[in-house]
Amino acid sequence: MVGITIGENENIDKALKRFKKKYERSGILKEYKKRTFFVKPSIEKRRMDEIKAKRRASREQAMRDRKG
């Protein structure tokens, strides 16, 4: 569970912003969306392979840009 302690003179808006940032970084929402419905393992693997291919292509493009 994500939680923050609010200081005595701390602005509520700042505390809320801190909470939202901590919530996003914890990955709770991402995990919830992922578990909302069942995805077959073969489809999940295919999706992960596509993500890996995009990352690899992006890295290779960055390397080419640095060299050139």
Cα(67)–Cα(60) distance, integer angstroms: 11
Q: Same structural domain for residues 21 and 50?
A: no
Question: Looking at residue 1, what is its pLDDT?
Answer: 81
Give the pLDDT band (50/70/90) at residue 68: low
- Residue 53 CA to residue 47 CA, distance in Å, equals 10
Question: Any residues with CB less than 8 A from the CB of 12 and at least 6 apart, and which?
Answer: 6
pLDDT digits (tens, 9 = 90+) for 20-42: 999 999 999 989 998 999 999 99
Looking at the structure of the chain, the number of domains it has is 2
d(CA 39, CA 43): 7
Residues 23 and 44 in one domain: no
Tell me the CA distances in angstroms from 54 to 32, 45, 63, one per residue in order.
24, 14, 14
Block residue for tokens 């392979």: 49
Q: Which domain holds residue 8?
A: 1-36
Whether 24 and 42 map to the same domain: the answer is no
